[in-house]
Amino acid sequence: MSEGVPERARLARFDDTERMLHWVNAGLFSVLIATGAVLYVGQLSALVGRRELVRLLHVVAGLLLPLPLLVARLGRGRAALVADLRRLSRFDAGDRRWLRSLGREKQVRHGKFHPGQKLNAAFTLGVIAVMFMTGSIMHWFRFFPVDWRTGATFVHDWLAITFAVVLLGHLRMAMKDGEARRGMREGWVTRAWARRHHPRWYEEETGVASVAAGPAGAGAGSGVPDHAPELEAEPRLAAPGQELPLGDRTPLAQPAPGHE
């Protein structure tokens, strides 16, 4: 599909640092879930065997979990990551309205990140911190009182189960959106997809007001693919005071605020 989409129809979404961070974290979480399941479920433990090796893999992956984010955050290629972390940490009025409606509000024009993505990012960051702390107490148990160890085990186990359920939901959503997957896999999406699903981000990046046929997100499930050639070209800019001639149905777009 990549070869069939011209460069002018693409919009950069994630850089190399962000994609590397995502996939390294995905790998570490996969190891943690797999080894944790073997350690927690007796039937799996009996089937796999080598319990001490599995435990060692689980501990090493857990200790490494905060490292990719720290390296990416402090590394030379951190500019895009820092900007996106700032976006993820801010919920605007539209996000709050969407959340209050439990996702039923269709008029919200999303920025680069959907409110659900912001919640997922905050939850994942919290999981990394809490699992690291509780896992450390469980591993170096001799330095902590019994009630700490008991509490840490309870929180660690139930948070791991909760995270696994949330992860399944995340994967389900990703499998339904090939463009979103390509953004994380190859670093770019089509401008049509950005204009349809993240109109405010599209305007920020291009300086062109998004042209929507209906409420934000209305294009999803409309039957028109996000990579449809007729949607890839940039809307023609209307000069001040320009009017469409009769019969001319070419969409006109006004410059986004701040880009006049």
Domain ranges of the chain: 8-186
Q: Hey, what amino acid is at 177?
A: D
Residue 14 DSSP label: -
DSSP letters for 137-189: HHHTGGGS-HHHHHHHHHHHHHHHHHHHHHHHHHHHHHHT-HHHHHHHHHSEE
Fold of domain 8-186: Fumarate Reductase Cytochrome B subunit (1.20.950)
Cα 199 from chain centroid (whole Å) = 17
| pLDDT tens sequence for the chain (260 residues) | 455 788 888 999 999 999 999 999 999 999 999 999 999 888 888 888 889 999 999 999 999 999 999 999 998 889 999 999 999 999 999 999 999 998 888 889 999 999 999 999 999 999 999 999 999 999 999 999 999 999 999 999 999 999 999 999 999 999 999 999 999 999 999 999 999 999 999 999 988 887 654 444 444 443 445 544 434 444 444 455 555 444 444 444 445 555 44
Between the CA of residue 89 and those of 3, 69, 117, 123, 216, what are the distances in Å? 35, 15, 10, 11, 22
Query: Which residues does 188 contact at the CB level (< 8 Å), separation at least 6?
Result: 10, 11, 12, 13, 182
